[in-house]
Structure 1
Amino acid sequence: MAYDFQRLQVLIVDDNRFMGDLLRMVLRSFGLDRVSVSECPLEGLSYLESHAFDLAFFDYEMPAMSGLDLISRVRGHHNDLVRFLPVVMCSAHVEEERVLRARDVGATEFLVKPFTTQAIYERLASLIERPRPFVREACYFGPDRRRKLADVASADRRVRSARGIDGPQMRRAALRDAAGGPDALANGW
C-alpha cells in the first residue's frame, strides 16, 4: 500500500549533516516536505517541545547525547505528544546488543545504515499500519517490545490518556489521517 505522506511533520536528529540531509531527501521523495533536521540532540529535544511532530528519526551515536539518552528523555517527557512520539533509531551498528538496547529504552523501530528507500518506506508504513501499544512497567515506558500478538494472562498495561484512548491509537489516527487514510495512494509511488 502506498501513502500520501505530505501532511506528516518529521524530525531528524543526526550529528552527521550528510546523513541527516540524505534521509531528508529520501523522505521528500515520498512527499514529506515538512522535515526538520538537527545535528544536536538538545536542539532536537527543543524542537520536539515547540512543534507537533508526527515521528522522529534519531541517530544512535552522537557526541553530546546519545540517541538512547534522547529517547529516554522523550519517553519521560511530561507532554503526551512528545512521550508517545514514534521514534525510529538509526545506526550502522546492528549488533544484537545495540538493537535490544534501543528497543529497551523505547525505540519504536530500528533502521540500519546505510539505508535504502525501501527500508525507510517500510518503517513509515509499519508505524501507520502496525502501531504498538505503549506499556508502563517498573523500569520501562514505551512501545510494547513484543512483536508477536499473544494472549497475556496479566492485566492490560497499555497506558490510557485522560480521554481513554491509548497514545498509539491517537498516533495511528493522526498518522493515517495525515497520510490520507488507509486507502490513499501516493502520486508516483
Structure 2
Amino acid sequence: MEKLSISDLHIVLVEPSETQRKIITNLLLNEDVKEIESASTIADAKKAITSHGADLIVSAMYFEDGTAIELLEFIKEQTQYASIPFMLVSSETSISKLEEFKQAGVAAILPKPFTPLHLNRALIASVDLINHDELELELFDVREVRVLLVDDSRLARNHIRRVLESMGLKKITEAENGAMALTYIKDAPFDLVVTDYNMPEMDGRELSEYIRFNPDTAHIPIIMVTSESADSVHMANIQQTGVNALCDKPFEPTEVRAMLAALLGE
C-alpha cells in the first residue's frame, strides 16, 4: 500500500470562527496540504465525514451545537471512521477538559495560537498513524512480541492498539486496570507492558512495582503512558518503581517507535 504524505491528506477542518478557519487553512496550505473541507458545527462535520470521509480531522473544542469530544467519540465509536486521526486546536487550559481528549485517543493537541513547527509535528504524527511502517528488531520478530496493554479507557486502549499495530505488533492483550493485568501476567508470559498511570483498583505505579519486584516478571520492559507533567511528584515516584520509559498522551508514533526500538533491541 502506497504511503500517504502530508500533501496527500484530505482534512476536515471544524472551526466555528470564520477568521480562525482562514488562519488555520492558510497554515495548512503552507504545509502543502491541498484538500481541506471546512465545517462550522458538529453536525456539519459529521455530514462531511459520512459523505466524503477524511484522512485527518482538525477541530476546535467548542461549538454552538456541542463540543469536540462529541465529534471525537462519534468517530472512535464507528469502525469505518475509528482510525481517522483527530487533532484538537484549542485555547483551553483546563487539565481536566484536555484530559478527556487525551483519554479518548486524540492524535495531537495544538494550543491557540500555534506555530508552524507545532502544526508540522502534529501533521507528521497524524501521518505516522495512517501509514503502517513495521518496526524492525534484531532480537525479535515484531509480529511475535507479546504486549500487555493496560488502560481503564477503552477509547485510549483502542488508540494505543492502533499505534502499536501500525508498527507490526499483533499479539496484544488488553486489561482495564492493574488488577486485571496481574491475572494475565500470572497466567501468560509477556515481552512488553504498556500501562496507563491513573486507573481504579490498581494504578500503573502499583502494577509496575509488582512486575519489577517479582523475579518471574522483573525482566519485562514497562512503558508508562501518562498525561502527568514530567516534574510532578507522581512522576518522581513512578521513576523509582523501575519503569523503563515514560510516554506522554497523546501517544505519538515517532516517540513510541524510538522507545520500542531501544527497549526491545536490548
Shared fold per TM-score greater than 0.5:
yes
What is the CA–CA distance in structure 1 between the aligned matches of 2:57 and 2:115, rounded to whole Å? 17
Normalized per residue, the structure richer in helix is: 2
What is the identity percentage for the equivalent residue pairs of Structure 1 and Structure 2? 12
> Runs ≥4 in structure 1, deviation > 6 angstroms?
135-138
**Alpha-carbon offset, residue 138 of structure 1:** 7.2
Whether 1:32 aligns to 2:46 is no
| Contact preservation (8 Å) 2:6, 2:127 | no
1:84-99 equivalent positions in 2, closer than 5 A: 84-99=83-98
What is the CA–CA distance in structure 2 between the aligned matches of 1:68 and 1:7, rounded to whole Å? 26
**Alpha-carbon offset, residue 65 of structure 1:** 1.6
Equivalent of 2:154, from 140, 149, 155? 140
Which one has a bigger Cα radius of gyration? 2
Could you tell me which runs of 5 or more consecutive residues in structure 2 were left unpaired when the two chains were aligned. Answer: 133-148, 164-170, 175-252, 254-266
TM-score between the two structures when normalised by the length of structure 2: 0.49
Could you tell me which runs of 5 or more consecutive residues in structure 1 were left unpaired when the two chains were aligned. Answer: 148-153, 158-171, 173-189
Number of equivalent positions: 146
Residue aligning to 1:100: 99
Whether 1:114 aligns to 2:113 is yes
RMSD: 3.1
**Alpha-carbon offset, residue 4 of structure 1:** 5.3
Q: Secondary structure at the match of 1:111?
A: strand
Q: Secondary structure at the match of 1:156?
A: strand
What is the CA–CA distance in structure 2 between the aligned matches of 1:128 and 1:46, rounded to whole Å? 23
Query: More relative contact order in 1 or in 2 (CA 8 Å, sep 6+)?
Result: 1
**Alpha-carbon offset, residue 8 of structure 1:** 1.2
Equivalent of 1:156, from 157, 173, 177? 173
1:63-74 equivalent positions in 2, closer than 5 A: 63-74=64-75
**Alpha-carbon offset, residue 50 of structure 1:** 1.4
Deviation per CA, 1:65-119, whole angstroms, max 9, x where unpaired?
Answer: 2001111111112x42x12110001110123222211112231211111111111
**Alpha-carbon offset, residue 38 of structure 1:** 0.5
Amino acid across the alignment from 1:91: S
Relative distance call for 1:137 and 1:76 in structure 2 (3 A) is farther
